[in-house]
Amino acid sequence: MTSLHTTRVRRRRLGVAAAAAGLVAALFTAGPAAATPDPGDTATTDGGVPVSRQIEARAEAAIRSGEVPGVDEIVHSDNIEHLTNVPKNALKGLNTDLAFQGRYAYAGNYDGFRIFDISNPEKPRTVAEVLCPGSQNDISVSGNLLFLSTDSSRSDDSCASTSQPATEKSSWEGMKVFDISDKRNPKYVAAVETACGSHTHTIIPERGNVYVYVSSYAPNEAFPDCRPPHDGISVIKVPRNAPEDSRVVNFPVLFPDGGNPGAPANPGVSRTTGCHDITVLPSKDLAAGACMGDGLLFSIEDPENPRVIDRVQDNVNFAFWHSATFNQRTDKVVFTDELGGGGAATCNEETGPNRGANGVYDIVGRGDHRKLVFRSYFKIDRPQAETEVCVAHNGSLIPVKGKDLMVQAWYQGGVSVWDFTDSSKPREIAYFERGPVSTDAVTTAGPWSAYYYNGYIYSNDIAKGLDVLKLNDRRTDPAKKVRLDELNVQTQPDYFRR
């Protein structure tokens, strides 16, 4: 374990262009699934000068100017402490999402998952590493069950599987279920194949069962288990006492009209062929769906049969609706836009402040008459080098009564803490980031997810490992008194009704 300390603290403005437990098979590394790369990303020359060399030169110039930190240099606002970093260990793939339970943190990785004991947040300790390759490995926990998404075509449903084309009928992708009653020795107990795999998932815990909403997309006529139209989500029912009996119980159609058609009708916008991520607020029987070209508000009063209440599009500035977060009063929802598919440098002057941003929406009206009403965009204004993949990604509420505060990951844009209490005027109040991992080429790295849990921010950096941060700010300090027994961020708790 190593602890990285900041070398300088500064504030910058926008202005630079920019299953089995243990190791049971060979390590597998894959790149993140691209969502919607911008046209022109593959250009190789500009005026006879190789684009790669131009990007490298601009990145190096940005560092020399002081606008961008040096390679791997840590910078942060005065109100954030960087307590520690735990580098990758046996699992060498890309780090992904996080879930929490008591004194444990569960970290997804394209090679499997890792369990940390975080009883001392300044010194997280590895309890187990489980090799179970499959891209994404989005992760959730409920009681003694752990859920893992597989969104790459595999030879079978085992943790010793190998990559296999999706055109093969025998290929498998979907949801895996582990028994984590023994944290040191998780046991793989169930698998459920789902149409087009499982890019992400969201759980709705109940006393006897756990419902799992599986988000997946990108069907193809050549894929036997992922053919169009793919206009909904898979709903899995997992009996707590018999997870081996888990099964798909419904595939509700959310887009009876086919959803956003994308180009050519809406250039630069993804065609909707499913959902990327769903966030549920069980205490309110409400969910928000980020579904490629569409944003949804829907009822989960009957979890097996979710029902759409409202749907919105932004065909000017949103390229790929990626994730959603409710505020505590459930009168706002934040949608993120994964411009560039998590593979492009989009936090720069050329892209601007509205494209690749968060969209803040008010929820107005009651019951089935509720509507999503756009209020503003929020995007970090700290410039990034042109080799830094920067994109709005996963975050969570910071529970403070009467305030709407959120911590969010931005890949190489770092970790941002921002206030959207006034939904028309959101603003950043704290940040943490590293400089580019390279000035030679556009590189995917930085925080995949950044979540507030029991007084600390935990960030799973794609390349660098687990970071633990501490906020010291009067605006966020009341959140330190809020304690949870379990946190899956896409299953939002009601923090103040506990």
Using the predicted structure, report yes or no on whether residue 17 has a pLDDT greater than 70.
Answer: no
Give the pLDDT mean for 360-377: 98
Give the pLDDT mean for 211-240: 98
How confident is the model at residue 332, as a pLDDT? Answer: 98
How confident is the model at residue 497, as a pLDDT? Answer: 79
pTM attached to this predicted model = 0.91
Give the pLDDT mean for 334-344: 95
Of 51-65, 176-190, 292-306, 444-458, least confident by mean pLDDT is 51-65
Provide the CATH topology of domain 45-487.
Methylamine Dehydrogenase; Chain H (2.130.10)
How confident is the model at residue 51, as a pLDDT? Answer: 61
Q: What is the pLDDT of residues 262-289, one digit of tens each?
A: 999 999 999 999 999 999 999 999 999 9
Using the predicted structure, report yes or no on whether residue 492 has a pLDDT greater than 50.
Answer: yes
How confident is the model at residue 13, as a pLDDT? Answer: 33
Position with higher pLDDT, 458 vs 9: 458
Give the pLDDT mean for 176-199: 98
Strand 294-299 to 187-193 pairing = unpaired
Predicted confidence band of residue 41 (pLDDT cuts 50, 70, 90): very low
How confident is the model at residue 25, as a pLDDT? Answer: 29
Give the pLDDT mean for 182-192: 98
Using the predicted structure, report yes or no on whether residue 390 has a pLDDT greater than 70.
Answer: yes
User: For the chain, what are the domain ranges?
Assistant: 45-487
What rounded mean pLDDT belongs to the chain?
90
Of 48-52, 83-87, 160-164, 485-489, least confident by mean pLDDT is 48-52
Q: What is the pLDDT of residues 43-88, one digit of tens each?
A: 333 344 456 778 889 999 999 999 999 999 999 999 999 999 999 9
